[in-house]
Amino acid sequence: GPFTLPLKKDKAEERAPLSLGCGHPYFPPLVSRVVGGEDTRPHSWPWQISLQYSRNGAWGHTCGGTLIATNWVLTAAHCISKSNTYRVVLGKQNLKQEELGAVTVGVEKIIVHERWISLLVINDIALIKLAEHVVPSETIQPACLPPAGELLPQGFPCYVTGWGRLWTNGPISDDLQQALLPIVDYATCSQPAWWGSMVRKTMVCAGGDGVTSACNGDSGGPLNCYHGDVWQVFGIVSFGSAEGCNTLNKPTVFTRVSAFIDWIHKVGVGMLEQSSGGSVWFLTLD
C-alpha cells in the first residue's frame, strides 16, 4: 500500500529514547498487516488505560481510554454512568496479573460532553480528570492529540487497541490486543449500504472489510494512528454493528478526536504548546 508503517518486525528489540512529549512509546509497537487481532508487544501502547468501576466490592474493567496529559484521560461518553465509582489503571498489559510499573489512580471528576445524545450516539466523548498527576515512565505515557480538523485518507493504517473482544467470537482477553483497521473516509462510510446517516462528520470509520473490527469490549479506547512521526489518538471507540463485529460495510465508528480539540481545551486540558524540538509539552489547567 501507499502508507509506510512506523516500525518493521526486525526492529523488535529497539528501544526509543524516553521522551517528555507524547506519542513516542519507549517500547515501539510491533505493527503488521496481520488481518485479525493479535497480542500487543507489552507496554507498546503506554497511553492505553483500563477504566474500571466498583461492583459488589470488586473492581472490574468496563472500558478503555487514552491518557492525553499527566492528569487527563479521554474516553467515550457512553462508558460513563453517574451512579458508578470509577478508577483508572495505567501501565497495564495483562489485567489479571500484578505488574511492575502499573499505577492505579482515583478520579477527581468526569466531564461528559454537554451535547451527548445516546439515542443518536453523537458527541460520544468524555474527559476524566485524575485525582493526581501520573509520572510518565517506560510503561505510562500520553498519546498526542491530532491537530484540530485533521482528516486521514481512505486506507490509512490505524490500530485499535483494547482488552475487549476484537473480532467475532474472539476472546475477551486479559492481554492487551491490537488490530489493524484502515480508515474509511466519510464519503464511503456515509453511503446507504454502509452506515448512511448514522455516521456524522464528527465521527471517523475504520475497518469494514468484514474481517476485523473493534467489538463490544473496546468502547472508549483509542484508534491509534501514526502520523506526523507520532502516535495520535485519532478516534475513540464509539459503536459498531449489532449484526456482529465484522459485518461487511459496517466498520467500527469512532468519535473523531480532531473534531473535538476545542472542546477538550475548553473544558479540561490546557492548550498544548509545541516546544522547539517538536515534542508536545502538557500544561494542565486546574
pLDDT digits (tens, 9 = 90+) for 22-51: 999 999 999 876 666 788 999 999 999 999
Say if residue 10's pLDDT is above 60.
no
Q: Work out the pLDDT band at 285, boundaries 50, 70, 90.
A: very low
Say if residue 217's pLDDT is above 70.
no
Mapping DSSP to helix (H, G, I), strand (E, B) and coil, where does residue 186 land? helix
Burial class (CB in 10 A: 0-12, 13-18, 19+), 271: exposed
Q: What is the DSSP string of 125-163?
A: -EEEEESSPPPP-SS--PPBPPPTT----TT-EEEEEES
173, 190, 213, 219: the catalytic one is: 219
The percentage of the chain sitting over the pLDDT mark of 70, rounded to a whole number, equals 77
CA 118/CA 9 separation, integer angstroms: 41
The percentage of the chain sitting over the pLDDT mark of 90, rounded to a whole number, equals 63
Bigger pLDDT: 186 or 283? Answer: 186
The answer to whether 1 touches 157, Cβ cutoff 8 Å, is yes
pLDDT tens figures, 187-197: 999 999 999 99
pLDDT tens figures, 223-269: 999 999 999 999 999 988 766 666 778 888 999 999 999 999 998 76
Task: Please indicate whether residue 124 is annotated as part of the active site.
Answer: yes
Say if residue 284's pLDDT is above 60.
no
Task: Please indicate whether residue 32 is annotated as part of the active site.
Answer: no
Predicted local distance difference test score (pLDDT) of residue 275: 29
Q: Work out the pLDDT band at 179, boundaries 50, 70, 90.
A: confident
Say if residue 11's pLDDT is above 50.
no
Q: Averaged over 154-166, what is the pLDDT?
A: 86
Task: Please indicate whether residue 44 is annotated as part of the active site.
Answer: no
**Low-confidence winner among 23-32, 97-106, 167-176 (lowest mean pLDDT):** 167-176
Predicted local distance difference test score (pLDDT) of residue 108: 96
The answer to whether 123 touches 116, Cβ cutoff 8 Å, is yes
Rounded to two decimals, the pTM is 0.85
**Low-confidence winner among 77-86, 120-129, 217-226 (lowest mean pLDDT):** 217-226
H or E element: which one contains 187? Answer: helix 186-189
Say if residue 17's pLDDT is above 60.
no
Domains defined for the chain, CATH in brackets? 30-44+143-258 (2.40.10.10), 48-142+262-267 (2.40.10.10)
Mapping DSSP to helix (H, G, I), strand (E, B) and coil, where does residue 120 land? coil
24, 43, 61, 78: the catalytic one is: 78
43, 50, 113, 124: the catalytic one is: 124
